[in-house]
Chains A and B, each alone.
Chain A
C-alpha cells in the first residue's frame, strides 16, 4: 500500500502543477467578472512558447533555460489574453464566444508556427527540462518524505506557493477587494471610485500569464515537446478545477491536486493490483463527472461571481 502511494503521489503532484497555475489564473479572471473559457488556448500558447524558447536558447542559458522559458511563456500568453480582454471588456463581446475563438486561435497559431519552423507536426525534444530535486532535510522524514519531498519538480513547489500568494492577494489586499467587488457588483464598485475596466483588464492579463506558465510547466515536465495533442483538454480541466474549487484559490488548488490524482490513477491503474480490474476510462471521466455534480449542488453549492459574463456599461442599470 505504502509503495503504491510512494509511486502515485509524485505523479499526482506533477500532473496537478500545470492545472494549479491555470486554475488560479481562471480564478483571477472570473472573480473580476470575465468568463475565461479561453484557458485552454492560453495554455497551448504557453506550452508552445515554452518549448520554442527552450529549444532555441538552451545553449545560451544552459540550466536556467526552462525557468526563463516560463517567464517568456507567461509574457506571451498574457499578451494573447489581451485579445480576450479587449473583446470582452471594451467591445462587449459575448465572453464565451470570445473564449472559444481564443482556444481555436491558440491551437491554430501554435501548430501553424510549428509546421513553419520545424517542417513537421511536432517540435524536437528539449534537452533542458525542469529539473527534479530532493528537498534537503524534509526528504528524510519517514513516510511523508519519500511521498512529497523526493524528486519533486521546482515548478510544483512554485504552483503551491502561487496558490497561497493568490489567496493572500485576493482576500487580504486592497487590489483583491477591488477585484472581487467588480466581479460581484461593478456599478457599486464604480460608485466607490474603483476603475472597473482597468481592474478587469489586469485580472484577465494575470489569468493569461498564469495559464501560460501552466502550459509551459506541462510541456517542460510531462511531454518535453510540443504537438497538436500536447495540451489535450488540460485547460478545460483547469476550468473544471476552478469551478470545483468554488472560485477560491486554495479550493482550486485542492481540486487540481484531486484531478491530478485521478490522472495519475488513470495512467498507472493497470500496474496497481487492487485497481487493475477497474477500466481506466472511469479515472479519465472522473474529473468531468465530479465537476457536473459540483455544479448541480450535490457536493455543496458552487456559486459563481454575480456579475460573471456581463459587460459593464457605465450608466446602465
Chain B
C-alpha cells in the first residue's frame, strides 16, 4: 500500500512522539556532555540486562497499568482525571491499613485489602464526580486539589496510627501479593502477583467498555453528552460512575505498592509520580485497554531501567523523566504531527 490510511496515522503519531522524545533526550545528554549511546545502553541493560532486572521492570509496570487504566477510563467518558495520584495514595493507605490491622485467612484477607484499596480510590473519585455531575464543577481543578488533600490526610493518618512515627507496621503475610515463585524465577527480584491483578483489570476495562450496556452509555456520554441525554441516558449518572470506576483502578494501583512492592506505607514528602505518569500511559495508548498495556510497558520499563543509568553511565535518572515529559508534550501536539503526515500522504498520492 502506498498511501497511509487514517488508522496508520493514528499509530504513527505516538510512535513519532516516542522517537522525538528519545531523540531530544539524546540531544539533552549530548549538550550535558554525556554520551547518549552509553546512556541508552545503560537504560537498555537496566530494563533487560538480567532476569532480576526483568523481574523488577515487570513489577514496576503493574501500578503503571492501573494508573493508565484509571486515566484512560475517565477519558473515554470525556473526563480528565488528574486525581489518579491522590486516588492511588488513598488506595495505598487503605490496603496497607487493612493488611496490617486485620488477621484473617489469606483467601479473605487479600481480596479484602484489594477491595479496600479500590473502595478508597473510588471514594476519592466520587467527590469530583458528584461535583461535576450536579454542579458542573470542572473535574481537573477538583482532582488536583483532591491530590493534595489525599497527601496531607494520609500523612496525618500514618502519624496518628503509628503513634507519632512515619511508617505503618508491615502488612501480615496473609494480605501480601509477594510470591516466592515469581521472585525465585527472577533471581530474587520483588516481582509479585500484582501484575496479574493489573492485567485482569485491563480485561475488566475492555469488558465494561465493549461488552456492557453501561460501557456503551459511558462512551456515548464521552462522545456527546447532549446526544446521550437525548437518547435517554443519564449523563450525570454516567459521569459519577466513570469517576468511581476510574478511582477504583487508581486505588488498586496503590494496592500494588502496599501489598506487593513495599509491604507497608511510609509518610510521603511528595507525590509518587505514578498517577501523573498514568496520564502519559493513557495518552500514548489512545485510551484503549490494549494501548494502555503498551504505554505502561514502555513507561514502566523506562522508569525502572533509568535506575541503572547513574551507575553504568553516570547520567542522572531524571533524564528519563525528561524523556517521558517530552513524549507527553509531543503526543499533546499530535495535531501538528497529524497535519504533517497527511500532507506527506497527499504529496505521495499526487505523484
Contacts and interface: CB of A to CB of B under 8 A. Distances in A.
A68 interface: no
B265 interface: no
Contact of B141 (A90, A109, A243, A289): A243
B144 interface: yes
A112 B323 CA distance: 12
Interface string A74-99: 00000000010001001111101110
Contacts of A108: 318-319, 321-322, 324-325
Interface in B254-282: 269-270, 276, 279
A310 interface: no
Interface string A233-244: 100110110010
Given A96-B82, A101-B325, A111-B318, A296 B148 contact: no
A236 B148 contact: yes
Contacts of B326: 101, 105
Contacts of A90: 336
B328 interface: yes
Contacts of A240: 141, 145
A270 interface: no
B329 A87 contact: yes
Interface string A154-173: 00000000000000000000
B316 A116 contact: yes
Nearest to B330: A101
Interface string B276-313: 10010001000000000000000000000000000000
For B80, B127, B152, which residue has the most chain A Cβ atoms within 10 angstroms? B152
Contact of B149 (A102, A228, A288): A288
A291 B141 contact: yes
B335 interface: yes
B145 A281 contact: no
B141 A98 contact: no
B333 interface: yes
A243 B141 CA distance: 9
Contacts of A304: 138
Most chain A CB within a 10 A radius of its CB, from B32, B146, B155, B328? B328
Given A97-B328, A243-B141, A292 B322 contact: no
A83 B332 CA distance: 12
A232 B269 contact: yes
Given A96-B82, A236-B148, A229 B329 contact: no
A111 B320 CA distance: 12
A107 B320 CA distance: 12
B148 A288 contact: yes
A104 B316 contact: no
A105 B322 contact: yes
Given A96-B80, A104-B324, A292-B142, A279 B329 contact: no
Interface in B100-150: 127, 131, 135, 137-138, 140-142, 144-146, 148-149
B200 interface: no
A229 B269 contact: yes
B283 to A, nearest CB: 7
A92 B329 contact: no
Contacts of A189: none
A98 B332 contact: yes
A288 B145 contact: yes
B82 A91 contact: no
A152 interface: no
Contact of A100 (B135, B138, B155, B276): B276
Interface residues of B, number: 42
B316 A105 contact: no
Given A97-B279, A285-B153, A296-B131, A291 B145 contact: yes
A295 B141 contact: yes
Nearest to A92: B335
B161 interface: no
Nearest to A116: B32
B156 interface: yes
A59 B58 CA distance: 50
B321 A104 contact: yes
A96 B333 CA distance: 12
B82 A98 contact: no
B256 to A, nearest CB: 21
B138 to A, nearest CB: 7
Nearest to B326: A105
A297 interface: yes
Contacts of A49: none
A115 interface: yes
B137 A295 contact: yes
Interface in B150-172: 152-153, 155-156
B141 A228 contact: no
A37 interface: yes
Contacts of A306: none
Q: B80, B127, B270, B333 — which one has the most chain A CB atoms within 10 A of its CB?
A: B333
A87 B333 contact: yes
Contacts of B156: 279-281, 284
19 contacts: A37-B82, A37-B140, A87-B332, A92-B335, A93-B332, A101-B328, A105-B325, A108-B319, A108-B325, A116-B316, A233-B148, A279-B156, A288-B145, A288-B149, A289-B145, A291-B141, A292-B146, A295-B138, A297-B137
Given A101-B326, A228-B270, 15 more contacts: A92-B335, A97-B283, A97-B328, A104-B276, A108-B324, A108-B325, A111-B321, A112-B318, A236-B145, A281-B152, A284-B156, A291-B141, A292-B142, A295-B137, A296-B135
